[in-house]
Structure 1
Amino acid sequence: MNDFQPHLYIGTSSWIAAHVPYKKTDISSSLASIPCAIPDKYLLTALQATAGGNLTFLRDNIIYHKDELLQEADVPDIFKVLDKITARVPAGAHGLIYTPWIWGERAPIEDKTIRAGLYNLSLHNTREDIIRAFLEGIALNTKWLMSPLEKFLGKKVEAINIVGGGAQSDVWCQIFADIMNIEIKQVTEPVYANARGAAWIGAVGIGQIKFTDIPNLVKIKKTYLPNQAHRSLYAERFETFTAIYKQMKNIYKKLN
């Protein structure tokens, strides 16, 4: 609710949003602040097309695709299993890079033709590496938003609250902290963030609370600090990630 304090939502899609005291549009990065429920404030929204949707694709189209190769029944709580697998794979996924543009992208580039890709795959890689690469790729894509976001806000982001289904994953929260090199604050019961927000706005409407009371109602379960041992690795990975877009965008445009 406070100006310039962003949150990161990780669900089927993802976004970074923050309240600001001005209406503004950055066409080059597809960022804009729009009117919101709070008087004299605007909500900056930076939307990315798919985040957790990539994991749904991995689950339904790769791991448990219904064909002759499927032998076992579905594993209960598969996303918890993916977390467990990811945690035992080293940072960097043994060289794999995943670009999560499975349905194009909205920000920081508007490009409906780009697609997901798994790069640097070798005979030495395993399914476990691929799973971690998916999670890292989504975090790398989120980091791509940070430079235009900070330019829009006019200040550096030091910490960010994370909500949505993806925020339930401890290992993914740590990956976001490491790759983005900022504090990630895991909101308590993050899947209910939208419901709580609607309830608090309703409470303001009937005079039970004030908008200024809301920040104190947000509870943080855990804060994840960047692991500096991974900083140089992920900085290099990010350079490669953005280079992939520059090198591949014309090929995707031709294909799609």
Structure 2
Amino acid sequence: MPANAYQLLDQIAERTSAGSDKLIFTPWLYGERTPVDDHLVRGGFHNQSLNTTRAHMVRAVFEGVAYNMRWLLKYVEQFNKRPVTSLNMVGGGAKSNIWCQIHADVLNRSIQQMKDPIETNVRGAALLASAGLGYLKYDEIGTHVKIANTYTPNPDHRKIYDELFAEFIAIYESNRKIHARLNRQH
């Protein structure tokens, strides 16, 4: 694997149109835990044709993870009894500008890409410990969190992502019994 593999995948996804020519990737490679608890469901590519390219598949993977996040976001907002207006992106995926933009577009929310996103968990733990020890106040923690970029939804992508998200959910609903039969342990 080349050292810059993730950057190469980002470049491929960036130059592929939103919606990946209606190719949908479901990321349930070993079941799903959130928002449904279904250890038997499996992922895959759906609506693949002879016109499907590797570029479509790369971008569809990025989009499929974002569709799954959108599915979960509905339940988070129901639980919180209010809409989420923006999300902080952390971890390795947050190093990708296109990944952040796709999430903004699919979720129709602004995405804040955290500075040094891989170290956010350890910094958060250190900030909580500092507050717990009295070195700073809990409401000061946010002043120590740095945002690298903010991504806003592209309205030109709204229609395709709304359409494909509805089909993403339909794929789960129409295939879950098949997956249960195929993956049930006897």
TM-score (norm 1): 0.70
Q: CA deviation at 1:216?
A: 1.3
Moved beyond 6 Å, runs of 4+? none
Q: What residue number does 1:254 align with? A: 181
- The structure with the largest strand share of the pair is 1
Match of 1:100 among 27, 30, 49: 27
Aligned length: 183
Shift of 1:206: 2.7
Per-residue deviation at 1:77?
A: 1.6
> Structure 1 residue 154 and structure 2 residue 81: aligned?
yes
1:67-106 equivalent positions in 2, closer than 5 A: 74-106=1-33
- Unaligned 5+ runs, structure 1: 1-73
With normalisation by structure 2, the TM-score equals: 0.96
Name 1:243's counterpart in structure 2: 170
1:120 maps to 2:47:
yes
- Root-mean-square deviation (CA, aligned residues, Å) is 0.8
- Gaps spanning 5+ residues in structure 2: where? none
Matched, 1:215 2:178: no
Aligned counterpart for 1:229 among listed residues 151, 156, 168: 156
Distance 2:124 2:3 in 1: 30
Report Cα offsets for 1:166-201 as digits up to 9, x if no partner. 111000000000000000011111111111011112
2:114 aligned with 1:191: no
* Alpha-carbon separation, structure 2, partners of 1:227 and 1:111: 32
Tell me by how many angstroms 1:205 deviates: 3.0
Q: How far, CA to CA, are the matches of 2:148 and 2:161 in structure 1?
A: 26
Higher relative contact order (CA 8 A, sep 6+): 2
More helix by share: 2
* CA positional deviation for 1:88: 0.5
Which residue identity does 1:115 align to in structure 2?
R
Partner of 1:71: none
